[in-house]
Amino acid sequence: FDTKKSVPKALKLIQLYEQMGIQKERVLIKIASTWEGIQAAKILEEKHNIHCNLTLLFSFSQAVACAEAGVTLISPFVGRILDWYVANTNTKSFEPEKDPGVISVTQIYNYYKKYDYKTVVMGASFRNIGEIKALAGCDYLTIGPALLKDLEDDDEPISEQLSIKSAKSTDIEKINIDEAKFRWLLNEDAMATEKLSEGIRKFAQDSKKLEDMIKKYINSA
């Protein structure tokens, strides 16, 4: 939630990597897709040539803001979107083509390709191989070992579902996002608002656990 503090924190992390001989070109700084986080990523990309991965992305408005900021990569969460709809609607299972997470990433991919944004779409957080197959053709997919094994054992062929050519033929309208519009659209999306808040809380808890572990290690040395 703090652009001014996020930028120097990222620069410090890059400095630490470089001290270990790892150049910044090999590093992606992971930042939550809040308005402040997206603006921090924009500064890092434009002024420092530092690549950013915008995470906790659950809505189209977040994706558009990231593209306009020129971030390197986004990680829209397919499975977590599905989880919300299963928990909050009367529908407890979805066919892949009707999966809310699949629909979300498909919309984002098509928008990016139709309007020639360079930001990479990396679908993440999958619950089943049906979701993965439905997004075949997406720039990147990050898939856990268990689902990779399921894919290996699956005999059905995988066909391309997403492509630049098909994206260009969609009639999706171009929009521009400023801070007020971003906050309004996010506020109107109950799923995205709840999942973003939940994700930030979990990241904060994990960060505190890591800090406590490091303190314990230092004090026992």
Query: What pLDDT, in 10s, does the model give residues 73-117?
Result: 999 999 999 999 999 999 999 999 999 999 999 999 999 999 999
Coil, strand or helix at 172: coil
* Segment 151-158 mean pLDDT: 94
Whether pLDDT at 221 is above 80: no
Arithmetic mean of pLDDT, 116-141: 98
Catalytic residue among 30, 113, 168, 174: 30
The predicted structure's pLDDT at residue 27: 98
pLDDT at 68: 98
State residue 44's pLDDT score.
98
Q: What is the pLDDT of residue 214?
A: 92
Q: Is 30 noted as a catalytic residue in this protein?
A: yes
pLDDT classification of 60: cutoffs 50, 70, 90: very high
Of all residues in the chain, what percent carry a pLDDT higher than 90? 97
Q: Where are the domains of the chain?
A: 3-220
* Spatial separation of the C-alpha atoms in residues 92 and 159, rounded to whole Å: 26
Q: Does domain 3-220 have CATH number 1.20.1250.20?
A: no
Amino acid 210: pLDDT: 93
Phi-psi region of 70 (alpha: psi -120 to 50; beta: other; left: phi over 0): left
Helix, strand, coil percentages for the chain (3-state, nearest 5): 60, 10, 30
pLDDT for 157 beyond 80: yes
Asked whether residue 220 carries a pLDDT value surpassing 90, the answer given is: no
Q: The tokens of 115 are what?
A: 């309007």
